[in-house]
């Protein structure tokens, strides 16, 4: 039996800040006491970055999970050896995009074999991913496809606010078209199940409207709230879920941060992302709910402009690792 849970930490796009924040996160002793973290990526890249930013850690290359070494000065890397040591930093490339996909694919395989207990992901770049031949909007959709999940959603979590999304990586016009009562109910139910499985006996769920002031009884929009949201909220209430809405988003997020709601159901990407990121990127964690595996992630991008400069902030990654441990 394992002494501690094992988290597979994918490197993300190696030309971005992923390798740097991974190296910095291994300085956190509290994480090491609670879990064994195995990087799934390229050992060569970690070694080059460690030299570049002046972090003295031993990179232990492994090709089986049970080969890991428990030591404060060792980073265990499940080495896929896909990238050259001289990979240009801060540059979009097909090589790095394909490698980022392969790291995720391997992590899912290891998770489904019960060799790791959760996946935590460093950021990837969508354009690089596409150049590498993988036409996905992002991590969430990749993981859903690889695991066969049909009902899933992105949840952003901070100490003060949790937000789950009905739609994410599509244009605003397409998002409004894609929203329907079945999908809204599905996301409300996912939020209820996710929080009920942690430390909320009956989570209070606030559901955003689509239009300003949640349509204000048809004054704004074309009765989207009445057609797309109200039936879902009613269905949730009849199922015993504590859901309220549709509510004006500008007020709802204030109330949720104040503590009146445990989670907010956002209708589209920016409606949910902006309030979370205003609270601070360093505190945000991205959780994919509805998967048969546990997955958390940083809530920021590859930050090509500062890659390799030694100034990337690892706090969001540490929060993502902590959240993975809690979910395990």
How do beta strands 153-157 and 285-289 pair? antiparallel
**Residue 44 three-state SS:** helix
- Is residue 213 assigned to a domain? yes
Quick: pLDDT tens for 303-318: 999 999 999 999 999 9
pLDDT score recorded for residue 242: 97
CB neighbour list of residue 173: distance below 8 Å, 6 or more residues apart:
none
Co-location of 171 and 144 in the same domain: no
Asked whether 304 and 91 are in contact (CB, 8 A), the reply is: yes
Verify that 21 and 137 share a domain, yes or no: yes
Residues 17, 147 within the same domain: yes
Q: Residue 74: is its pLDDT beyond 90? A: yes
88 pLDDT more than 60: yes
Is residue 201 scored above 80 in pLDDT? no
Is residue 1 one of the residues assigned to a domain?
Answer: no
**What mean pLDDT value characterizes the chain?**
94
Q: How many whole angstroms separate alpha carbon 179 and alpha carbon 184?
A: 7
State the pTM of this model: 0.89
- Do residue 70 and residue 124 come from a single domain? yes
pLDDT for position 299: 85
Residue 284 clears pLDDT 90, i.e. is over it: no
Q: Work out the pLDDT band at 1, boundaries 50, 70, 90.
A: very low
Nearest to 181 by CA among 245, 115, 118, 259: 245
**Domain check: are 87 and 23 in the same one?**
yes
Rounded mean pLDDT of 167-174? Answer: 93
With bands split at pLDDT 50, 70 and 90, how would you rate the model's confidence at 197? Answer: confident
pLDDT band at 281 (very low <50, low <70, confident <90, very high): low
Q: How far apart are CA 14 and CA 166, in angstroms?
A: 30
Q: Average pLDDT, stretch 142-157?
A: 93
Three-state SS across 239-274? CCCCEEEEECHHHHHHHHHHCCCCEEEECCHHHHHH
Q: What is the CATH number of the domain that holds 186?
A: 3.40.718.10
Q: Looking at the structure, do residues 48 and 83 belong to the same domain, yes or no? A: yes
CB 109 within 8 A of CB 76: no
Does 193 lie in the same domain as 254?
yes
Q: Do 118 and 30 share a structural domain?
A: yes
Q: Which of 233, 251, 275 is the last residue of a domain?
A: 275
One domain for residues 106 and 143: yes
Question: In this structure, are 187 and 146 located in the same domain?
Answer: no
In-domain check, residue 174: yes
- Final residue in a domain of this structure, among 233, 250, 275: 275
* Number of domains forming the structure of the chain: 2
Same structural domain, 18 and 106: yes
298-322 burial string, b = 16+ CB within 10 Å, else e?
bbbebbbebbbeeebbbbbbbbbbb
Arithmetic mean of pLDDT, 263-276: 96
Specify the pLDDT at position 298. 93
Strand 58-62 versus strand 74-79 pairing type: parallel
**Residue 120 covered by a domain:** yes
Is 123 within the bounds of a domain? yes
The answer to whether position 280 is within a domain reads: no
Average pLDDT of the residues in 230-253: 97
Domain extent for 245: 159-275
Any domain includes 199: yes
pLDDT band at residue 24 under the 50/70/90 scheme? very high
Same domain, 105 and 170: no
Q: Are 180 and 230 in contact (CB under 8 A)?
A: no
**Domain-terminating residue out of 275, 300, 318:** 275
Answer for the pair 15, 302: CB distance below 8 angstroms, yes or no.
yes
Instruction: Summarize pLDDT for 54-70 with one digit per residue, the tens.
Output: 999 999 999 999 999 98
Domain-located, residue 285: no
How much of the chain, in percent, has pLDDT values that exceed 70? 99
In this prediction, residues 137-143 reach a mean pLDDT of 91
């Amino acid at each position: 039996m394992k002494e501690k849970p094992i988290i597979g930490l994918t490197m993300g796009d190696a030309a971005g800040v992923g390798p740097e924040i991974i190296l910095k996160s291994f300085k956190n002793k509290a994480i090491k006491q609670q879990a064994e973290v195995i990087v799934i990526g390229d050992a060569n890249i970690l070694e080059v970055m460690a030299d570049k930013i002046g972090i003295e850690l031993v990179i232990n290359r492994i090709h089986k999970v049970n080969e890991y070494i428990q030591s404060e000065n060792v980073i265990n890397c499940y080495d896929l050896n896909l990238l050259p040591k001289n990979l240009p930093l801060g540059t979009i490339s097909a090589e790095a995009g394909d490698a980022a996909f392969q790291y995720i694919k391997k992590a899912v395989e290891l998770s489904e074999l019960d060799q790791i207990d959760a996946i935590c992901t460093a950021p990837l770049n969508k354009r690089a991913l596409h150049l590498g031949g993988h036409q996905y909007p992002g991590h969430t959709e990749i993981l859903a496809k690889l695991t066969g999940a049909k009902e899933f959603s992105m949840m952003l979590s901070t100490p003060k606010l949790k937000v789950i999304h009905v739609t994410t990586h599509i244009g605003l016009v397409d998002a409004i078209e894609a929203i329907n009562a079945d999908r809204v109910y599905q996301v409300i139910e996912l939020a209820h199940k996710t929080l009920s499985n942690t430390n909320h006996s009956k989570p209070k769920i606030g559901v955003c409207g689509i239009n300003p002031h949640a349509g204000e009884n048809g004054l704004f929009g074309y009765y989207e709230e009445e057609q797309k949201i109200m039936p879902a909220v009613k269905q949730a209430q009849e199922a015993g879920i504590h859901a309220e809405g549709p509510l004006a988003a500008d007020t709802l997020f204030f109330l949720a941060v104040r503590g009146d709601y445990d989670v907010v159901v956002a209708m589209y990407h920016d409606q949910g992302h902006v309030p979370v990121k205003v609270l601070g990127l360093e505190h945000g964690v991205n959780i994919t709910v509805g998967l048969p595996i546990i997955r958390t992630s940083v809530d920021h991008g590859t930050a090509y402009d500062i890659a390799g400069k030694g100034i990337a902030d690892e706090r969001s990654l540490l929060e993502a690792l902590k959240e993975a441990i809690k979910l395990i």
